Amino acid sequence: MAGESSSASSPVTVEELTLTVKWSGKEYTVRVCGDDTIGELKRRICEVTNVLPKRQKLLYPKIGSKLADDTVFLSQLPLKSSLKMTMIGTVEDDIIVDQVDSPEIIDDFELGQEEPVDIKDKEVNQEKLRRRIDRYKIELRNPCREGKKLLVLDIDYTLFDHRSKAENPLELMRPYLHEFLSAVYAEYDIIIWSATSMKWVELKMGQLGVLDNPNYKITALLDHLAMITVQSDSRGIFDCKPLGLIWAHFPEFYNSKNTIMFDDLRRNFVMNPQNGLTIKPFRNAHSNRGTDQELVKLTQYLLAISDLDDLSILDHKNWQSYDEEHPKRRRHA
Ligand SMILES: [Mg+2]
């Protein structure tokens, strides 16, 4: 348990660093902490420059190759606030390429039974969440609705097969997407949260007709800048989507009891394991388009549980058998 001892010895309050980053003839200031990784530093730089993290190459005197490893903690580097870092990178205008050349993460992992509790309760991760809450602004596209529950949706492989090629993006849309969103909108506000850039989220959702559908409204879109990086003893460092960020912004509407999130990657729920439902990934759209029924079945589930006071008591792993176990709650015959 090497990770355990190192996290126990690191101070809870971490030093804030203000770094100057030179890019394209201008200087930018970013605020980071010692317990942030290089990956998080790149996200902060992305906020001010719009250069996506994977397009950034960072240069700093005498550090060299360590800056290429996104999992290295800033506290492990001899950074001084008097020195300037240089960033080399280009803003992408052709954001369609965004998805194609990014490394694909195929293997999701099951974290140990006790471990998700450890990760979400670790003070260092709670502190990261608090900092993200302070810095990330959620722009409402439509008002939150009184008395509605909240559904948070991933995009890639959840609503859309972003890896297959197609002339028209509609060919890659998960079947029944609009029917699903229209039906669940009766009981749930809908937020879409993707681990990519906001430009891409807006483009993709726009192309699929999700942003201007007359039958439902999207409350908000969130992107990769809203994610936090956490450390797991068994799985190392990875990014996740902490729902606490949404709950902190809209406490009068959303909380841990009325929120459910769909994602094909289980680790994205690590800060709120009771609120996540791991959806079967929608891949190979051209061969699976005719048979994929996930969104039809999930519509039934969401509507069946929508009158419960507390969704977090459910084990969403067993969602497929919910109707058989709770026939009285069945609404749609
Ligand atoms: Mg996904």
Residues 6+ apart with CB under 8 A from 133: 244, 245, 248, 249
Q: In this structure, what DSSP letter does residue 289 have? A: T
216 plus 286 within the same structural domain: yes
Give the count of domains, the chain: 2
- pLDDT tens by residue, 279-311: 999 999 999 999 999 999 999 999 999 999 999
180 plus 322 within the same structural domain: yes
* Closest listed residue to residue 200, CA positions, set 84, 326, 46: 46
236 plus 187 within the same structural domain: yes
276 plus 319 within the same structural domain: yes
**How much distance in Å is there from the Cα of 195 to the middle of ligand 1?**
8
291 plus 234 within the same structural domain: yes
Alpha-helical regions (H) of the chain: 2-9, 38-49, 97-100, 115-121, 123-135, 177-184, 198-207, 244-249, 285-288, 294-305, 322-325
Domain span at residue 85 reads: 11-91
Residues 6+ apart with CB under 8 A from 226: 132, 136, 138, 193, 241, 245
* Closest listed residue to residue 170, CA positions, set 214, 208, 200: 208
**How much distance in Å is there from the Cα of 173 to the middle of ligand 1?**
13
Higher pLDDT, 249 or 68: 249
CATH of the domain at 277: 3.40.50.1000
142 plus 226 within the same structural domain: yes
The answer, yes or no, to whether residue 115 has pLDDT greater than 80, is no
* Closest listed residue to residue 239, CA positions, set 268, 281, 262: 268
**How much distance in Å is there from the Cα of 154 to the middle of ligand 1?**
6
250 plus 215 within the same structural domain: yes
143 plus 207 within the same structural domain: yes
Q: What is the CA radius of gyration of the chain?
A: 21
**Any domain includes 102:** no
Binned at pLDDT 50, 70 and 90, residue 82 comes out as: confident
* pTM (predicted TM-score): 0.83
CATH of the domain at 58: 3.10.20.90
44 plus 178 within the same structural domain: no
124 plus 231 within the same structural domain: yes
42 plus 189 within the same structural domain: no
**Any domain includes 312:** yes
**How much distance in Å is there from the Cα of 155 to the middle of ligand 1?**
6
Only one residue has tokens 């993290």, namely 53
Are the CB atoms for 151 and 187 separated by under 8 Å?
A: no
**How much distance in Å is there from the Cα of 82 to the middle of ligand 1?**
40
- pLDDT tens by residue, 150-187: 999 999 999 999 888 888 999 999 999 999 999 999 99
